[in-house]
Structure 1
Amino acid sequence: MMQGRLQSAAGPARPVQVEPHTLFDDVYGIAVGVLFVVMGVLLLQAAGLITGGVAGISLLVSYLSGYSVGLLFMLINLPFFLFGYLFMGARFTVKSLAGSVLIMAMLKLIPSGLVIGHVHPMVAALGGGTFCGMGILALARHGAGVGGTGIVTLWLQKRYAINAGRTQVAIDAVILLAALAMVKPQLVGWSSLSAIAMSSMVMAWHRPGRYFGN
């Protein structure tokens, strides 16, 4: 069980016992995180943008190959799940795998009930990146990841206290530079905004001591 510290007016900070997440908390939190990620990806896809992480790689490969972004998301994630199992544990990997399967399924199902006719690239970049960032944050708070580079960044933060958001920015920069060879520079520019929006969410709120959950 994790502990926080509460500063009172009458004296120094004292430990605060915090209840761990229940099974319902985890299921609900992961489901909400998945919905955020899916909505973010759909906004980006509607504007022909990409973003960072595996979501961005999947979108980029989808544009080039025509394959389903959900299927690519799952396939690209497989080696990262092995990494997660070896270094983050079975519990984290099972939660992350369940979340990725849900993302793949919802990316397939939601477009049949939600059709985005037009979205300005700026709106898609800011909205899509922020939605993806909130989804990643929600999953991380419940001991899961969206897979891919997110697993690596969470491990680096857990093992070496390297901020996950900053690591993700560095990885995203490499992905976007690679996209310049395949996507119009203007779209890569908007995509960079989406990657910044996504990483900023994680950088701002996924810090030790900011959250007393388990």
Structure 2
Amino acid sequence: MAHTIRPLLEMWSRDPARHSPVEDLQGLVSGCVISALGLYLLGSVGLLTGGIAGLAFLLRYVTDWKFGILFFLLNLPFYYLAYRRLGLAFCVKTFFAIALTSVLTDLQPRLVTLEWIHPAWATVLGGLLLGYGLLALYRHRASLGGIGILAVFLQERFGWRAGLVQLAFDLTIMGLAFLVAPPDIVLYSVAGAAVLNLFVAINHRSDRYIAQR
């Protein structure tokens, strides 16, 4: 019995400042699943989001490409920053998170049927779900790439809140959205970006959550 129980116990790290591989895997997968659902809710009513995901949404509206493919490709240039500034482990986990979220987001219409949702409620739910997903990824030393990588780097280097850094970039994306989307959709999208990034800014602090590796 002891030989059976011991391997199970070792799945969890005994060091509070370090995650075990199993803990990292569940954190990354759950973060991706929640993020993909948040992106689906936003996209189901034509809303946008910020960062690279927002840029992918914009390009999806003017091209025939799927969101998942655009999201994955647009993130490729940021892997160099992830590798050079935040380490190989962060880069590998972020690559995994982006790939899984891209696939899950494109699969959502086959897994979930949503007949109707008010844009305001999609704004709140989508923003909160993305916030929870990003928080899970950040706490396991990963992100959804792009601006998220830059935001985590700036928080660790200069102490700038990752959520507020990302909000500044998101507002820029929303400004560009006025060129391709109706004003009401853009305004709902701005509200969603605010919900997302304020949630991350309030809840993600490296000095509060000690498991950083």
Is TM more than 0.5 here?
yes
TM-score, normalization by structure 2: 0.90
Deviation readout 1:136-163 (Å, 9 max, x if unpaired): 1100000101001000000000111111
2:151 aligned partner: 153
Deviation digits for residues 68-123 of structure 1 (CA, Å, limit 9, x no counterpart)? 00001100000011221121111100000001110111122232121222111101
Say whether 1:95 aligns with 2:61.
Answer: no
What is the rounded CA distance, in whole Å, between the counterparts of 1:19 and 1:164 in structure 2? 20
Which stretches in structure 2 are left out of the alignment for 5+ residues? 1-14
2:172 partner SS: helix
1: CA distance, partners of 2:52 / 2:126: 14
Q: Distance in 1 between matches of 2:169 and 2:59?
A: 17
Structure ranking higher in helix proportion:
2
- Could you say what secondary structure the match of 1:147 adopts? coil
Match of 1:63 among 46, 61, 86: 61
Runs (4 or more) in structure 1 with deviation over 4 Å come to none
The CA RMSD over aligned residues, in Å, is 1.1
Instruction: Write the mapping of 1:161-200 to structure 2, written as runs, cut at 5 A.
Output: 161-200=159-198
1:1-214 alignment to 2 at 5 Å?
18-214=16-212
Q: In 2, distance between residues paired with 1:114 and 1:193?
A: 24
- TM-score between both structures, scaled by the size of structure 1: 0.89
Structure-2 separation of matches of 1:209 and 1:50 = 31
- How many Å separate the matches in 1 of 2:108 and 2:171? 29
User: 1:25-47: CA deviations, max 9, x gaps?
Assistant: 00000001001110010000101
Aligned residues: 198
Q: What's the % identity of the aligned pairs?
A: 34
Unaligned runs of 5+ in 1: 1-16
Larger strand proportion of the pair? 1
